[in-house]
Structures are given as C-alpha cells and as structure tokens.
Amino acid sequence: MTTPWFEPWIWADFRVAVLFTVLIPLGLLLWAAIAKAEAVQQLLVVYWRVASLLAITVYLMIGSFPISFVTAIASRMLIPLGLWYWVDLNEELEELRQPKLKFAVKAWRFAITAYCAVGVVANLFSLPCAAKNAAAIAEDSLCRAWLAPTWLYREYFHANTNPSFLGFLGILGLVIYVLYLGTFVLFRLPKQGRLAQR
C-alpha cells in the first residue's frame, strides 16, 4: 500500500492541533484564572464547549466512522465562530487592563482562526472518505492517512481498548453535542443574541 504524498502534512497538522487547540488554550485559561480575567475565562469556556467536537472527532476516527471526516471540517468552522461571535466578550477583551494577557488572547484567536481556515480547506480533500463504509475506509490508503494520527493516539492512551468501543464513545459524544448545540441554537440563541453573558 503506497503512502500518500500528503501524509507528513497530516501528522504535522495533528501536532499543531495539539498546540493550538489544547495546550495554548489550557495555558490561557490558567493565566486568566490567576489574573481573575472573567471575560477571558468566559471566552475560553465557550471555546472548550465548541472545541469538544474536535475530541469527539478523534474518537470517531479511531472507530473509522465516515462521519468523522465531516465533523473534522465542522469543528474547524465552529471554533472561529465561537471565538469571535460574542459582542460583549469582544468589547470586554478590548478593555482588558492586562496588556500581556490581552495580547496573548488576541494573538491566539487570530492564529487559531487562520489555522482552522487552512484546516477546513485541507480537510475538504478527505470528504470522499465520508461516502465510504468503515471497511472501505480501512482499505483505502488515502483515508487511512487521515486516520493514522488518531490510531497512534489510541496506542498511547487506550492501548487495551477496542477501537469499536472508542468509536461508540465518539458517536455517543456526537449525539450529546448535536442535542446541546441544537437546543442552544433553537432556544437560547434567539433570546440572548450575540451576548455571551446573559
């Protein structure tokens, strides 16, 4: 089975994702908690709610579920939306009196937005895999290249767990995510508009 030319880029993307979507926001959340910067904390709570779809996608990919290729794109579209949508948080962040934290949050928001935009475009090439069943995905070298980093993640953190069970957890997480998002969009968003703190 030949290795696709873009496989090293997928591995690089996975590493960058760990940095931009996990490590930096965790560091910012800790910094904001110590600095008692409530607007930053609120923004990061919104971020973690939205970005949980990325974690769900990892487990869907471990199980080789075709829908994981769709959720990979959806998560990268929802993250910038969740970070920039809220008028009140944007205003409070502009008025933040801690210049270093303000700069760090602003730089991260721009960086992760650019990263997600590039990720959406790159992941469009994986969409043909979403039309295949799990067996066909496992046999297709192009699809396997997209799944390989998540399989390594499984070896590190869930070595003795059946991939099908982890995929089931991903499906369960996706159902909960969609229900929560649907409830939010249909009921809470019309009432609160673009105000996060209501």
DSSP string, 128-140: GGGGS-HHHHHH-
Closest to 116 (Cα-Cα) out of 156, 75, 167 = 75
User: What is the maximum alpha-carbon separation in the chain?
Assistant: 56
Round to whole Å and give the CA distance between 115 and 1: 30
The amino acid present at 5, given as its one-letter code, is W
Round to whole Å and give the CA distance between 19 and 114: 14
Is 168 a domain residue? yes
pLDDT for 197 equals: 64
User: pLDDT tens-digit profile of 178-192?
Assistant: 999 999 999 988 888
Cα angle 78, 197, 90; round to 5: 60
Contact 75, 39 (CB under 8 A): no
Can you read off the two tokens belonging to residue 23? Answer: 């490590």
In the block, residue with structure tokens 């953190």: 157
Can you read off the two tokens belonging to residue 154? Answer: 């499984």
User: pLDDT tens-digit profile of 50-92?
Assistant: 999 999 999 999 999 999 999 999 999 999 999 999 898 999 9
Total domains, the chain: 1
Is 2 a domain residue? no
Is 75 a domain residue? yes
- Domain hosting 176: range is 7-192
- Through-space distance between the first and last CA atoms of the chain, rounded to whole angstroms: 54
Which residues of the chain, if any, have pLDDT below 70?
1-2, 197-198
Is 12 a domain residue? yes
Is 1 a domain residue? no
Closest to 35 (Cα-Cα) out of 104, 87, 120 = 104
Is 21 a domain residue? yes
